[in-house]
Amino acid sequence: MIVVTGAAGFIASCLVTRLNAANFNDIVVVDNFAVEHKLPNLSGKRLKQYVDRNEFFDWLDENYEQVEFIFHLGARTDTTEQNRGVLDLLNLDYSKQMWQACCRYQLPLVYASSAATYGLGTVGYDDDEALLHLLQPLNAYGDSKNDFDKWAVAQPEKPFFWAGLKFFNVYGPNEYHKGRMASVILHAYQQIQQTGSMTLFRSHNPDYADGEQKRDFVYVKDVVEVCYFLMQTRQHSGIYNLGTGEARTFLDLALNTFAALGRTADIQFQDTPEVIRDKYQYFTQANMEKLRSIGYDRPFTRLEDGIADYVQNYLVPNQYM
């Protein structure tokens, strides 16, 4: 059996689809299934069992001999969450418990970290574990992810294989439930369909023109391919960036969304809200050399191709992956 936590969420539900496509059907999905608006993400998938996240460790104590691999992708991912208690409970303490269980039962583990750990990128975007203590996240969510990364690396006892994945700006199907935390592409699509235009944040940095702020946008289909690769190889434990290695502008994103819809671009700009202006990232770009060095050689989807696939094959027909 393969365990996937956060399974009704965005990336994890796409991973379940990828596993099913490879004929892995004994999948145990773990989540808070009372959040009903996420459940369509799992509809039609071949699953072994649903386990509530609060009951998972008791379940694992009884079933660990049947478990082959654990993907721990469940987390509180709201970057505006201010309740440190909630973040400590779900992102730090739960992950520590998962790590310790994987050590106890000798289970391989892939878990979700985040590029939010890099903050403004003042020390770069290198997934060198020696630099973890220098990182300065901009919010409590990023702190919680970096705190766990530092804790994991410092542990004398580790799972026989483990990997922490620093997801950059992931976009793609199955993020419909995420509301304001969904990718800018989903928001762009919705704005264009409703109003015929799209609004981006104006630049307040003299080094960047309006719309030229850059992010490393990575398609969720690439993310799950990396997860699948790590499950298959189970070598070279460590923390890895998961982006494309190429920063693209928000203007690129907007223009390609219009193009995917066959619409003429109409882009407006508004001031970045003052409450987030001093913490706004103008550039992120994953250094992908470390993942490449362990044998991952698949090309990452170009932004143009990823947006076209997402818009035309999922958003327009309202389909799930």
Binding site per annotation, positions: 10-11, 31-32, 38, 53, 73-77, 145, 169-170, 178, 180, 187, 201-204, 215, 280
* 3-class secondary-structure state, position 170: strand
Task: Output the known binding site for substrate.
Answer: 169, 180, 187, 201-204, 215, 280
Those residues whose C-beta lies under 8 Å from the C-beta of residue 152, and which sit 6 or more positions away, are: 95, 99, 158, 162, 164
Q: How far is CA 28 from CA 59, 61, 98, 265, 284, in A?
A: 10, 14, 15, 44, 34
DSSP 88: I
From the annotation, which residues make up the binding site for NADP(+)?
10-11, 31-32, 38, 53, 73-77, 145, 170, 178
For the annotated catalytic residues, the residue numbers are 141, 178
Token code pair at residue 295: 């044998």
User: Do residues 72 and 7 touch, judged by C-beta distance below 8 A?
Assistant: no
Q: Tell me how far apart the alpha carbons of residues 185 and 153 are, in angstroms, rounded to a whole number.
A: 34
Pair of tokens at residue 160: 């026989």
Closest CA to 216 of 115, 81, 148: 115
Give whole-number Cα distances, 314 to 171, 177, 244, 307, 317, in Å.
Answer: 12, 14, 21, 10, 6
